[in-house]
């Protein structure tokens, strides 16, 4: 089966580099026996457009462009982005680079500078997240059961005033709810050992689970330690890593064959449990418990003393969640929120637990993808068709609390998306914290107010309003930041009727003026520098009536050269300028008596130039002709002949063979 490549080429002017890059990639692909399809995005618009099937079937995507190319339709595909010159200079090497270096666009782990989106390669965080993934179902189940039971624990007097907290076990409902509350407490008591067990499992596999769970239980049992509180989440993490790497070390020992069948189920677990018991009892238990006690007492003090503290903490956690869309910063915030919640539940009970960081993290999770979707609805003219499709997918992911739906947009516009996401996520995190929302479990999105359990001042509404505020801020920043995309709408009959007489006259003049004649061939005997060559080209363009202002056209040639060199291989250049002074498209062939330094692709001096005049409004048929010149120059025989030939008639015949 042939290897399949799709590519997009585009340059600043949309003429020369665009088509030469396309031709180079096509020829290099054929030489290698690959199936290559190239879409060109030139001044006349997109040609040879890639279909959904082309993209789906492709092994890799090459974007050889000097302008911004919309990558949304390539989400999930391996993409390599380079300059158009890379495709012209070394197309075969570029194809190989694509297979070796292309990365999946818009997937977890996408890198933008030093920021990794949606994924962390940090092993420490990876192991902890593994433990959290196993612990989360227990947290949700225990939290919701506790919350439901807690509703029935508030006892009222005859006037409807709450006078006591506790379960009236003399009734069947009261007895059942008291047991339900106990079940929830057991869940919270077991979740930290469960977390530690699976962190250790991530490090050293199954033999590490039992000793890590036992060690984490001990480090969180205040009665066993003889302290006021346990070691909390931090103690569990420490135990999990000690056990994990201890077991990993024990597995490397060359044990006698006779005991090897018992290693995983008895010998290693027993040794590890004994060692971690000693470490917890005599080394880390007391100090960790004292540290955690001080930390959470301090956090509680801040929340109770400073009214703004919940908003500030919530905003910081929200901003971290929105920063890298599931990357290491996002995961750190999620871990911190989970740790504070679980530890304060264990220390103070569910009634006095600190919900702020965990609730803020959940409120912020869906802001970025839902903000993108809302922006695509409010600012349709600033999103391409492909981007609107991706935004719809982001909506679906955001509604179920998956931040990663924003990654394709962040990969395309990192500064814009990270700024908008951080601002909106920080606001959502701060608002749910200052209003006193408590997230027990469920989906981290506006939908969480229904699917899950969130305690909030105004049932259902507070959570929705707080998260929606963050979503709106994100959408507005994206919408106002973006520029409108090109709208290819057909002229209406009314539009066509307002064409002025002068415009019609200009069109007639353009049609009468021939694109290329034998009189357009010149030998420049005097120019020795690129600047002098530009002045000569501007003078002949004015002489033949192709430009209104010689100086303006000369300046246009210089400005175009700053964007990228127009010098190609074997001494040929295509200097051109697309500006308002150009009256009509034209082609001039200039042979330089003195080879000119031009910063060409192969470093050679220029002896032959195809000088082009391009109207600012870019008549489509003429631009198509001009692009065919650039394509023709890829032909080695044509290029060599045009450079060596000196006879004017032969040169005219040669250029006339171009498919105008």
DSSP-assigned states of every residue in 557-596: HHHHHHHS--B-STTEE--EEEETTB-S-EEEEEEEEEEE
**CA–CA dist 138, 121 (Å, integer):** 26
Three-state SS for 11?
Answer: coil
Q: Give φ, ψ of 585 to 5 degrees.
A: -65, 140
β-bridge mates for residue 616, sequence order: none
**CA–CA dist 468, 371 (Å, integer):** 9
- The total of other beta-carbon atoms located within 10 Å of residue 296's CB is 21
**CA–CA dist 382, 196 (Å, integer):** 48
- Taken in order 82, 565, 39, 408, the sign of the CA dihedral is positive
Q: Of 21, 67, 72, 66, which Cα lies nearest the Cα of 48?
A: 21
Q: What is the CA radius of gyration of the chain?
A: 35
**CA–CA dist 194, 199 (Å, integer):** 9
The b/e string for 416-441 (b: 16+ C-beta within 10 A; e otherwise) is ebbbbbbbbbbbbbbbbbbbebbbbb
Q: Are 386 and 70 in contact (CB under 8 A)?
A: yes
Helices (H) and strands (E) in the chain, counts: 26, 17
**CA–CA dist 171, 174 (Å, integer):** 5
Q: Is 11 tagged catalytic?
A: yes
**CA–CA dist 409, 395 (Å, integer):** 13
**CA–CA dist 405, 476 (Å, integer):** 18
Quote the crossing angle between the two packed helices 328-348 and 123-151, to the nearest 10°.
40
- The total of other beta-carbon atoms located within 10 Å of residue 591's CB is 18
Catalytic member of 6, 10, 11, 521: 11
Paired tokens of 157:
């007097």
Q: Of 312, 326, 327, 340, which Cα lies nearest the Cα of 427?
A: 312
Strand residues in 268-400 grouped as ranges (E):
none
Three-state SS for 219?
Answer: helix
Paired tokens of 317:
């956690």
Return the active site residues.
11
């Amino acid at each position: 089966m042939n290897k399949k490549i799709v590519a997009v080429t585009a340059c600043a002017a949309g003429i020369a580099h665009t088509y030469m890059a396309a031709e180079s990639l096509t020829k290099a692909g054929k030489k290698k026996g690959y199936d290559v399809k190239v879409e060109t995005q030139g001044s006349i618009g997109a040609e040879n457009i890639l279909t959904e099937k082309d993209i789906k079937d492709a092994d890799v995507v090459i974007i050889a462009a000097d302008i911004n190319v919309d990558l949304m339709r390539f989400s999930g595909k391996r993409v390599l982005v380079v300059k158009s010159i890379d495709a012209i200079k070394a197309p075969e090497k570029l194809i190989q680079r694509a297979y070796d270096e292309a990365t999946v666009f818009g997937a977890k782990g996408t890198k933008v500078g030093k920021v990794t989106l949606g994924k962390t390669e940090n092993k420490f965080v990876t192991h902890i997240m593994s433990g959290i993934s196993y612990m989360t179902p227990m947290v949700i189940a225990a939290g919701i059961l506790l919350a439901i039971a807690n509703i029935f624990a508030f006892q009222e007097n005859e006037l409807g005033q709450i006078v006591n907290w506790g379960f009236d076990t003399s009734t069947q409902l009261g007895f059942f709810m008291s047991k339900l509350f106990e079940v929830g407490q057991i869940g919270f008591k077991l979740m930290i050992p469960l977390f530690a067990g699976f962190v250790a499992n991530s490090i050293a596999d199954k033999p590490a689970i039992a000793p890590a769970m036992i060690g984490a239980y001990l480090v969180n049992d205040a009665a066993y330690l003889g302290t006021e509180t346990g070691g909390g989440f931090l103690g569990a993490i420490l135990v999990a890593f000690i056990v994990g790497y201890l077991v990993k070390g024990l597995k490397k020992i060359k044990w006698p064959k006779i005991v090897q069948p018992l290693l995983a189920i008895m010998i290693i677990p027993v040794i590890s449990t004994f060692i971690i018991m000693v470490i917890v009892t005599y080394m880390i238990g007391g100090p960790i418990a004292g540290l955690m006690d001080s930390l959470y007492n301090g956090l509680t003090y801040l929340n109770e003393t400073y009214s703004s503290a919940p908003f500030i903490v919530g905003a910081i956690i929200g901003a971290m969640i929105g920063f890298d869309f599931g990357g290491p910063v996002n995961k750190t915030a999620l871990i911190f929120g989970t740790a504070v919640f679980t530890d304060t539940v264990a220390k103070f009970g569910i009634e006095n637990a600190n919900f702020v960081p965990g609730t803020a993290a959940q409120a912020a999770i869906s802001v970025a993808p839902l903000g993108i979707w809302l922006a695509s609805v409010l600012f349709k003219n600033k999103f391409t068709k492909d981007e609107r499709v991706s935004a719809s997918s982001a909506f679906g992911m955001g509604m179920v609390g998956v931040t990663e739906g924003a990654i394709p947009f962040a990969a395309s516009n990192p500064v814009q998306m990270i700024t908008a996401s951080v601002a909106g996520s920080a606001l959502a995190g701060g608002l749910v914290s200052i209003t006193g929302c408590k997230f027990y479990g469920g989906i981290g999105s506006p939908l969480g107010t229904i699917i899950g359990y969130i305690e909030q001042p105004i049932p259902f509404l507070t959570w929705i309003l707080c998260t929606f505020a963050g979503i709106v801020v994100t959408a507005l920043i994206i919408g106002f930041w973006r520029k409108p995309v090109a709208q290819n709408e057909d002229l209406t009959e009314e539009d066509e009727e307002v064409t002025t007489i002068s415009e019609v006259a200009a069109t007639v003049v353009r049609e009468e003026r021939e694109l290329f004649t034998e009189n357009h061939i010149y030998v420049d005997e005097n120019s020795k520098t690129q600047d002098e060559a530009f002045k000569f080209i501007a003078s002949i363009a004015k002489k033949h009536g192709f430009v209104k202002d010689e100086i303006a056209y000369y300046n246009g040639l210089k400005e175009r050269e700053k964007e990228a060199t127009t010098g190609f291989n074997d001494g040929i250049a295509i200097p051109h300028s697309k500006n308002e002074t150009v009256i009509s498209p034209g082609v001039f062939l200039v042979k330089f008596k003195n080879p000119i330094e031009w910063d060409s692709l192969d470093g050679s001096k220029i002896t032959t130039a195809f000088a082009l005049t391009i109207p600012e409004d870019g008549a489509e048929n003429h631009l198509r002709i001009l692009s065919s010149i650039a394509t023709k120059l890829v032909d080695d025989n044509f290029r060599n002949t045009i450079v060596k030939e000196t006879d004017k008639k032969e040169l005219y015949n040669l250029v006339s063979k171009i498919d105008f």
